[in-house]
Amino acid sequence: MERVDVVVIGAGVMGASIALDLSRTGRQVLVLDKGDAVGGASTSASSSVVRTNYSTLDGVTASWEATHAWRDFAGHIGEIDGPVARLVTTGMLMFEPAGYDRSATLGHFDTVGVPYEVVGADDMPTRFPFIDNGRFWPPRTADDPDFFSPADGALDALWMPESGFVDDPQLAAANLMTAAKRHGAEVRLGIEATAIETTAGAVTRVCTAGGNTIDTACVVNAAGPWSAQVNHIIDADPGLRVGTRAMRQEVHTLKAPAGFDPGASGTAVGDMDLGTYFRPHFGGTIIVGGVEAECDPLDWVDEVDSVDPTPTSALFESQTYRVARRVPGAEVPLRPMGLASAYDVTPDWVPIYDRTDVDGYYLAIGTSGNQFKNAPIVGGIMTSIIDACERGHDHDADPTPYECRRIGRTLDLGHYSRRRPLNATSGTVLG
């Protein structure tokens, strides 16, 4: 009979981060994933943007701490063989929707110490010559007759100079997992967990599709878009007030104007005015995604394995044409270029990092879309929760704090509770 201290379900960037921090405590950690590669599912499809503009103080705190971890990612994971993912700092401009009050965000930045600048509308053409700062609100689909209406005035923008992107998201997951294995963790790919058994309200065993059983008192659900399915294979009620659901998302590419490169004048842009976000990439391209604008239908999926990875013409045109309005020198390809994958999201786009009503069953779910940037610290967050609960601490009544040692602040982990009231300020992927 096989026995381990912890089973982590999911070998994406979150599962890898959790495996690393738990294995550093001396626990015997086993990672299971039905896929064939570490970080091979939604992690590999991530735009891997690293930014700090969240609508909540806890969101800003976590992302600023994680930004520091990405800056020293090699130090965070320790010495490993082979290439290591890196943070590419491009800065980020944020164009906000009509009537948006950014004062709360700036207050969070001031509290946490995140550097920023508000660039006036008149200064935008000089500071960011590739960017058209016209106001095009509201976002429209490409077939809308008013899509190409002229700009109605000019926008200022919030500039966050420390933002950027991780150059290879799947490599980042692989790096974390390699470090975890160095500390004794084991990874088994192509293995699906089919049941989580409990006795007297506590985890006792994980069963797999091959008929094997693994005795354990601790399971972490970090299954990304499959997390809701994993919550259904446990034979007790985990007690979620906030659930997750898989959503199909598309990421597109188009050709950048000369000079709009990560190492030159290229900048990441969060464009709520037009309903997209985008960032420069290597090889003279721009990576484009959506921000759940009202004109774009949400594509919920019940069977994650059936998600078509091919981008659709309609969404490709709408999103890339919007970017071409903001970056007039960009070139839209004649056919869709990009990919589709699935996000694992909660109704308020705030993840769940928490225990459950079942002793020994923990959640790191609802993370897709805006949590890749926090991946380096999620392992520490979950380890803090697990350590506290194993000591008998009531994390529900008194949420365990997480010490952000790089920025000298404390993160309230109650923000990520499965029982929280939905956050009213974070209704999109931006959080």
Domain presence at residue 422: no
Give the 3-state DSSP-derived string for 118-130, with helices as H, strands as E and coil as C.
EECCCCHHHHCCC
Rounded Cα distance, 208 and 206, in Å? 7
Look at residue 245 and tell me whether its pLDDT is greater than 70.
yes
Query: Domain count of the chain?
Result: 2
In a shared domain, residues 17 and 76 = yes
Domain presence at residue 427: no
Look at residue 1 and tell me whether its pLDDT is greater than 90.
no
So what's the pLDDT on residue 356? 98
So what's the pLDDT on residue 98? 84
- The pair of structure tokens assigned to 226 is 């499959």
Q: How many CB atoms lie within 10 A of CB 4?
A: 18
In a shared domain, residues 70 and 172 = yes
In a shared domain, residues 188 and 206 = yes
322, 345, 368: which is the final residue of a domain? 345
Sequence-ordered list of residues with C-beta below 8 angstroms from that of 223, at least 6 positions apart, any chain? 9, 10, 15, 229, 230, 344, 365
Rounded Cα distance, 65 and 7, in Å? 27
Confidence band (pLDDT; 50, 70, 90) for 283?
very high
Give the pLDDT mean for 61-75.
98
Give the pLDDT mean for 317-335.
96
Domain presence at residue 426: no
Determine the distance from the C-alpha atom of residue 104 to the mean position of all C-alpha atoms in its chain, rounded to a whole number: 22
Q: What is the DSSP string of 348-380?
A: TS--EEEE-SSBTEEEEES-TTT-GGGHHHHHH
Give the CATH number of the domain where residue 226 resides. 3.50.50.60
297, 324, 345: which is the final residue of a domain? 345
Average pLDDT, the chain: 96
So what's the pLDDT on residue 264? 83
Q: Give the predicted TM-score (pTM) of the model.
A: 0.97
Domain span at residue 144 reads 92-161+246-345
345, 374, 399: which is the final residue of a domain? 345
Tens-digit pLDDT profile for residues 360-416 = 999 999 998 899 999 999 999 999 999 999 999 999 999 999 999 999 999 999 999
Look at residue 429 and tell me whether its pLDDT is greater than 80.
no
Burial of 298 (0-12, 13-18, 19+ CB in 10 A): exposed
Residue of 44, 138, 51, 65 lying closest to 384 (CA atoms): 65
In a shared domain, residues 134 and 49 = no
In a shared domain, residues 113 and 236 = no
Tens-digit pLDDT profile for residues 297-312 = 999 999 999 999 999 9
Domain presence at residue 429: no
In a shared domain, residues 174 and 236 = yes
- The pair of structure tokens assigned to 420 is 């929280």
Domain presence at residue 284: yes
In a shared domain, residues 72 and 172 = yes
Rounded Cα distance, 198 and 191, in Å? 20
In a shared domain, residues 74 and 174 = yes
Domain presence at residue 144: yes
Give the CATH number of the domain where residue 252 resides. 3.30.9.10
Confidence band (pLDDT; 50, 70, 90) for 425?
confident
In a shared domain, residues 132 and 254 = yes
Confidence band (pLDDT; 50, 70, 90) for 278?
very high
Rounded Cα distance, 146 and 140, in Å? 8
Contact 238, 417 (CB under 8 A): no
In a shared domain, residues 380 and 328 = no
In a shared domain, residues 260 and 389 = no
- List the beta bridge partners of residue 355: 362
In a shared domain, residues 66 and 197 = yes
Domain presence at residue 318: yes
Tens-digit pLDDT profile for residues 110-147 = 999 999 999 999 999 999 999 999 999 999 999 999 99
Residue 284, helix vs strand vs coil:
coil
Determine the distance from the C-alpha atom of residue 138 to the mean position of all C-alpha atoms in its chain, rounded to a whole number: 26
Domain presence at residue 122: yes
Look at residue 430 and tell me whether its pLDDT is greater than 80.
no
The single-letter DSSP state of residue 167 is S
Look at residue 30 and tell me whether its pLDDT is greater than 90.
yes
Confidence band (pLDDT; 50, 70, 90) for 427?
low
